């Protein structure tokens, strides 16, 4: 009865939301859904009423639809509908400079799908998708939970619009959480109570940094990947992809892209982001050519000609601890589905 009384009290303090408690897959979640359309956030979830109150007290975050947004431009390139005229205009400028950009975005998304499916087949059930962007099906959690319905995914982004959409779409999935966080501050992400409530960093995890590191300069990107690698338990995975082009082509794309500043990373620097990890074959390659062991030969579309700009992609596994601590070792990578 005490819980119901506390819910009624919270409801009285926030009359613009309907608040209830539900249990999904054995996990108790408190949900607040806005009564009026257009409220930001429209859905808020938390593991306790105290945390729900804190999140409801956070100020509403305005956004400007007249300025292009990184997540919405990418959403448009993928054929999504969560974008505005400014985002479509930005995409049009980029496509004029490099007409294959929409194809690169789709190839990058397909790489994410293959990488998550492969890692899930190795028995990994925890995923941290940093810079996740707007939800686009198949989402990381859909891919992971297809392999194991108990898989858990934390979507991390510093864009309040992304977090709002993620909470609206994912509020019914107890194995998913949307975590506000800045890629440039991995320690804050890893120490977030919202992330800790779902992800156990003492166990193997997969960290995804897909199409985000080109928004950081090379030294910062190296520090970010190193921080996540240090925090991961042995047997964990790092999956990343980075836009890559020659100096002349990159300069033209940089000038056309106004939603954020882009940075060029040399191929060897991108390879160094996997420092301390064992690269999974085929290594660091064009995203369309990344097909993991046991997945069958690449399709014909992955054997295209060289392009001026591309997406370099790869995945690495953190080695197990030395034999003297073998009781903590993670199982060796498998090439196919579990038997």
Mean pLDDT of 133-150: 90
In sequence order, the 6+-apart residues with CB closer than 8 A to the CB of 17 are 11, 32, 33, 34, 35, 44, 56
Mean pLDDT estimate for the chain: 84
Residue 267 is inside which H or E element, if any? helix 267-272
115 close to 141: Cβ distance less than 8 angstroms = no
The span from the CA of 283 to the CA of 302, in Å, is 15
pTM: 0.78
**Per-residue pLDDT for 271 more than 90?**
yes
Average pLDDT estimate for 140-165: 89
* Higher pLDDT pick, 26 / 146: 146
Residue 228 has pLDDT above 80, yes or no: yes
29 in Cβ contact with 7 (< 8 Å):
no
Taking residues 39-58, report their average pLDDT.
74
């Amino acid at each position: 009865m005490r819980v119901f009384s506390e819910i009624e009290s919270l409801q009285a303090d926030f009359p613009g939301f309907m608040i209830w408690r539900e249990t999904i897959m054995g996990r108790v979640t408190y949900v607040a859904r806005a009564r009026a359309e257009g409220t930001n956030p429209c859905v808020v979830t938390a593991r306790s009423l105290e945390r729900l109150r804190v999140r409801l007290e956070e100020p509403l975050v305005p956004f400007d639809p007249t300025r292009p947004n990184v997540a919405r431009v990418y959403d448009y390139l993928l054929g999504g509908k969560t974008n505005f005229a400014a985002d479509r205009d930005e995409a049009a400028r980029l496509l004029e400079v490099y007409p294959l950009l929409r194809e690169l975005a789709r190839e990058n998304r397909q790489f994410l799908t293959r990488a998550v499916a492969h890692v899930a087949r190795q028995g990994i059930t925890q995923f941290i998708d940093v810079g996740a962007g707007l939800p686009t099906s198949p989402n990381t959690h859909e891919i992971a939970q297809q392999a194991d319905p108990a898989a858990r995914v934390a979507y991390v982004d510093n864009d309040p619009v992304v977090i709002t959409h993620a909470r609206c779409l994912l509020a019914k999935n107890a194995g998913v959480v949307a975590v506000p966080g800045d890629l440039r501050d991995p320690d804050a992400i890893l120490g977030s109570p919202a992330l800790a409530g779902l992800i156990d960093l003492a166990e193997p995890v997969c960290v995804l940094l897909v199409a985000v590191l080109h928004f950081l300069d090379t030294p910062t990107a190296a520090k970010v990947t190193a921080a996540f690698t240090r925090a991961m338990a042995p047997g964990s995975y790092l999956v990343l992809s980075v836009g890559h082009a020659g100096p002349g082509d990159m300069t033209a794309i940089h000038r056309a892209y106004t939603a954020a500043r882009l940075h060029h990373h040399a191929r060897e620097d991108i390879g160094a982001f996997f420092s301390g990890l064992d690269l999974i074959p085929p290594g660091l390659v064009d995203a369309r050519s990344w097909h993991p062991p046991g997945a069958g030969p690449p399709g014909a579309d992955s054997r295209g000609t060289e392009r001026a700009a591309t997406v370099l992609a790869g995945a690495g596994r953190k080695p197990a601890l030395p034999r003297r601590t073998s009781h903590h070792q993670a199982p060796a990578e498998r090439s196919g589905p579990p038997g």
